[in-house]
Amino acid sequence: MNSEFLSSIVHFLRFPHAVGATESSMRRVERPIWSWSHRAWARHIGVLDRVGLSLPLYARLLESGEHTRLPAETLAAFEKRKRDNSERMLGMLQTFGQAISALQQSGVQHVCVKGFSLFPDYHEDPWQRHQTDFDLLVPPADALRAQRTLEGLGYKLTEVAGDGERRLRIPATEYFNRNTYLYRPQKSAAIELHPRFWEPGAEELPLRCPDNAFEQAEMRTLGSVSFLGLSRPHAFLYQTLHVFRHFLGSWARLLWLYEIAAYLHRFQEDDALWQQVQALASTDARLSEAIALVLLTAQDLFACPIPRALQVVHTLPAKSPVRLWISHFAWRWLLADIPGNKLNLLLQRHFFSDGPTWRRYLASRLVPFGKHSSLCEGIDRSIAKSFSFRAANCRFQAGRCWHHLHTGVGYATASIVWKMYLHRSQASYPQVNCFDN
């Protein structure tokens, strides 16, 4: 992947007249997107699809009227994506509506998070966003009933995570690789049932989060489907924590940070909203730093404003490890194709107050023995037994092995540089910020 190409796209999507962008982002001089040939667009548009920026980019181009400056063949490729994703999202909305209707009839308490709940606050039209599944917040007491209800629609349980998250899917009859066109109509549906606002997961990183999300949920309507969604302050906090959860993994879609940046830009003058977000975010020191990390990264990439009411960001010391990592490593971590790299591990130690827990986690990330990733979760059994799928799955797993080896070496090398940066920073703000009570 040409990181210069992706960087130029990010630069084009930056918001004008924003103040407070970090020095590292202000120093960048990017190549204009108009200078790329159709051959370059054709070679890299698959990366744009995977990081989620193809459709938001085209929406911005249409809004400004600058889409006509693209090569004719490139413009046609974007138009096809717009048309195909419109059809795809319409079909997914119908599938989503069926699941919501069944859960409502069965009396299961649930709230839609992410996905269709992001319209119209984060995107004006569903075609502007690509998604693959549905996410619902369901109280633990209703989890089994929700599962049985969805199984009545043909969903099958594929996994129950250690923190209680349940993943269900209508068995897939086809599988995808990294070059699959993402905007085809979805033939299989997947739903994730989340038992709590924040799921510590394998990272064993607890955060004290709001416990009133269900009480303050609001009814939303998209097309012919009505459903409960989080209140605007809760939804924004959930979006930031979603990115932070992926920060604890290997890869995060640039789309998610762009959505946060666009929301900050659109509602920057809504002081009441940001005061409510601040109240929700200030209940826990580790939570505050997690939010500051996400928002400052979004600002570094897309030059979005951060409202003054968000003191969890503005009170973060200038020489903190969070700001240091954003200045030197955020772009390299984020401007990477899936499955990403391990440069986020440099900062993750900062969020772990317990040394043994951190060492176990680090070992599991660097050498993930016993974790067998599959090319397609929830694949139909008859397809899973086929020679073509097994061969493709073997190639996928071999690629994952090479990924861990390659990125592990990259992490080791970057660790030396990171320690130098930390040593030069203020001694009053060390690398390991203990959050012990």
* 69 and 58 Cβ atoms separated by less than 8 Å: no
Token pair of 243 as six digits = 């990115």
Sign of CA dihedral 145, 147, 150, 154: negative
**Contact (CB, 8 A) for 239 and 258:** no
Res 353: pLDDT: 81
pLDDT digits (tens, 9 = 90+) for 262-309: 999 999 999 999 999 999 999 889 999 999 999 999 999 999 999 999
Of 186, 214, 67, 171, give the one whose Cα is nearest residue 130.
186
Neighbours of 168 (CB within 10 A): 25
Residue 153 DSSP class: T
CATH numeric code, 3-424: 3.30.460.40
Domain boundaries, the chain: 3-424
**Residue type at 369?**
F
Query: What is the rounded CA–CA span in Å between residue 80 and residue 49?
Result: 13
Rounded mean pLDDT of 187-193?
94
CA dist 243 → 145, 239, 259, 429 (Å): 29, 7, 11, 25
Question: How much is the pLDDT for 437?
Answer: 38
pLDDT value at 116 more than 70: yes
Q: Which of 303, 241, 233 has the alpha carbon at shortest distance from 275?
A: 233
Distance CA 14, CA 3 (A): 17
> For 143-164, how does the pLDDT look when each residue is reduced to its tens digit (9 = 90+)?
999 999 999 999 999 999 888 8
Query: Of the given ranges (63-77, 137-151, 162-176, 419-433), which has the lowest mean pLDDT?
Result: 419-433
Q: In terms of Cα–Cα distance, which of 23, 9, 66 is closest to 296?
A: 23
If one compares 202 and 262, the residue with the highest pLDDT of the two is 262
* Mean predicted confidence (pLDDT) in 109-123: 97
Q: Containing H/E element for 64?
A: helix 54-64
Residues in the chain: 437
What would the DSSP string read from start to end of 211-238? Answer: S-TTTT-EEEEETTEEEEE--HHHHHHH
| Confidence band, pLDDT 50/70/90 cuts, at residue 55 | very high
Instruction: Please tell me the distance from the alpha carbon of residue 363 to that of residue 376, in angstroms, as a whole number.
Output: 25
pLDDT surpassing 60 at residue 24: no
Beta strands (DSSP E) in 107-209 are 111-113, 134-137, 156-160, 166-169, 190-194
Instruction: For residue range 209-218, list pLDDT tens digits in order.
Output: 988 999 999 9
Tokens 């996928």 locate to 396
Coil/strand/helix, residue 37? coil
Rounded to the nearest integer, the mean pLDDT of the chain is 89
Q: What is the pTM of this model?
A: 0.90
- Which pLDDT does position 29 carry in this prediction? 62
